[in-house]
Copies of this chain bind each other. A is one copy, B any other.
Amino acid sequence: MTLEQVAHRAKVSTATVSRVLNNASVVKTSTRARVVKAIEELKYHPNLHARHLAGGKSRTIGMIVSNMENPFFFDIYKTVESDAHAAGFEVVVANTDYRSEQLVASIRLMIGRRVAGLAVVVSEMEPALIEELTDSNIPVVFYDVGAPRQNITNIRVNYGRGIDKIIDYLYSLGHRKLGFVGHHAMLGPINERVKPVLDAVARYPGVEVRTAADADTLDGGRLAARALLASGEQPTAIVCVNDIMAVGALRELRERGIRVPQDVSVTGFDNVKLSEFCYPALTTVHIPRDTIGHLICDTLLSKSGNNAAADHEMVIDPEFVLRDSTGPAPGR
């Protein structure tokens, strides 16, 4: 079904059909009626690719995330989508699953689609790729826990600050032997996620921390906790890189008959909904996903507009949330 066929049936030109489709300019009511009728009879659906190609502009914004399975990313996506829809844009997401080849593929795809804007919400990214993106000339905004990028709008959360708050609290409770559960995106040398923990701990003499990492899933959290528990002395508190993994850790502890928080304390990060619903409810740090989502959309939408200003950086300071998974270190 093509525009031309519709035009033919309605006995008008393709130009006119196009007009009624975009309810643009003036089309005589009777003509419009004929066209609409033809469209319905033929069950015509305009070809978006053709439309895009001819029109030039995109009306869709892209979003790339590491792991949609983690509600943290999903929450951001949700508000981005909602804002985008409100502005008449649609959004297409891509999941990288923490795999860098997927990241590359997804970015190429987005560029190929000529999206009106792109939000990249992933942890690690090679400089070459970033360059490819900036050269593409499409408005981009990064969300990151890492270092600021140059020449690109960057939203980031002050991860270290959040970790500090957690460690401070745990220290005040008497915890000296800590465990850190991270995810695989942070294997390798000291990275963005582990370093803050080490730094925070370093401020307190006499505090030790061992780390373990696994997949960014419930199971991963469980496995990492198991690894922590299987080797060396049992920590009195387990700090997790995010809530999902913390819930996984909670399960491992429960199955071993280790009580939380009486025997060991556990903390999450992000404050996703689940952190309130698990048992015990998690002490965590709140990252405002909605704010991040709004920021992303505002930036993208205004950028694709006119004011090519504001290629700055916005950093979000996380807030401590006290719940039931933490308590005094045992024997204190």
Q: Roughly how many angstroms separate A326 CA and B118 CA in the complex, as a whole number?
A: 47
Q: List 11 A-B contacts (CB under 8 A).
A: A43-B135, A45-B111, A47-B114, A48-B112, A51-B112, A81-B95, A92-B92, A217-B273, A251-B277, A254-B279, A277-B278
6 A-B pairs with the lowest CB-CB distances in the bound complex, closest first: A279-B279, A48-B112, A49-B49, A45-B111, A49-B52, A49-B53
Asked if A218 is at the interface (CB within 8 A of a chain B CB), the reply is yes
Contact yes or no, B48 A113, CB < 8 A: yes
- Which residues in chain A, 271-288, are within 8 Å of chain B measured between CB atoms? 273-274, 276-279
Which positions 125-160 of chain A face chain B at CB distance < 8 Å? 132, 135-136
User: Does A248 sit within 8 A of B, measured CB to CB?
Assistant: yes
Considering the complex, give the chain B residue whose CB is closest to the CB of A219: B273
Q: A68-B74, A90-B109, A279-B279 are known contacts; what are 15 more A-B pairs with Cβ within 8 Å?
A: A45-B112, A45-B136, A46-B112, A48-B112, A49-B50, A49-B52, A51-B112, A68-B68, A69-B71, A92-B92, A218-B277, A248-B277, A250-B277, A251-B276, A251-B277
A177 beta carbon closer than 8 Å to chain B: no
A35 within 8 A of B: no
Q: How far is the CA of A126 from the CA of B36 in the complex (A)?
A: 22
Asked whether any CB of chain B lies closer than 8 Å to the CB of A227, the reply is: no
Q: Tell me whether A247 is interfacial, beta carbon within 8 Å.
A: yes
Distance from A208 Cβ to chain B, minimum over Cβ atoms (Å): 28
Q: Kindly state the separation between the CA atoms of A46 and B250 in the bound complex, as whole angstroms.
A: 48
